[in-house]
Amino acid sequence: MKPLEEKTSHKSGLLTLLVEQLDQLYATETYLGKTLSELTSAASSESLREVLQDYAEVVTNQTYRLELIFGQLNQPRQPHTYDGMSGLIREARQAIEQTIEGSMTRDSGLILACQKICSYKESVYQSLCNFAESLGYSPVSHLLEKSLQDERDIRQVLTNAASLFFNRQASMESPRTPSPKFPNPRLN
């Protein structure tokens, strides 16, 4: 197997796509790491705060792995936006704004938002693992697989918490006000 530096000396379209997506994922992880503290503070229950704190640690580890990957690929990070994640984070903030502080409904909304974030990140990590394997970058793929498994694990913790406790408690709460109606973008 050629060293990673030799492999990256020629730019294939797939390698370019891999690096661009890694840049975007790094921006996403960095932004998510900052946002998770906001979500943790808004959580009603201590157990959800602990899960979100654990998720923040996972994100820190994933960010570190991405830095290692850039080093292995001998590629500098490029400033990038986190377009794919911004809508999901906006949904998490709406869950905070549209629910009663201290309610299990808020926690259920936060869990749903975090599950969506995990699903988004899982698909990105899975695709990047496949790209790295196709390019013969097994060490890169191995690091990406660790982050992929982290996402699967945290999503399962969130799913278990929601189904075992939060959703049941939330179903017994009375709503603050009816949920606002959002326009259907397909009808406009």
Give tens-digit pLDDT for 3-24: 454 554 455 899 999 999 999 9
Domain residue ranges of the chain, discontinuous segments joined by +: 13-171
Residue 180 DSSP one-character state: P
**Each residue of 116-171: pLDDT tens digit?**
999 999 999 999 999 999 999 999 999 999 999 999 999 999 988 888 766 566 66
User: Whole-angstrom Cα distance, residue 48 to residue 32?
Assistant: 17
Q: Which CATH architecture has domain 13-171?
A: Up-down Bundle (1.20)
pLDDT tens readout for residues 28-37: 999 999 999 9
pLDDT reported for residue 160: 86
Q: What b/e readout covers 157-169, taking b as 16+ CB neighbours within 10 angstroms? A: bbeebbeebbbee
| pLDDT confidence of residue 173 | 57
Please tell me the pTM assigned to this model. 0.82
Q: Provide the pLDDT for residue 172.
A: 67
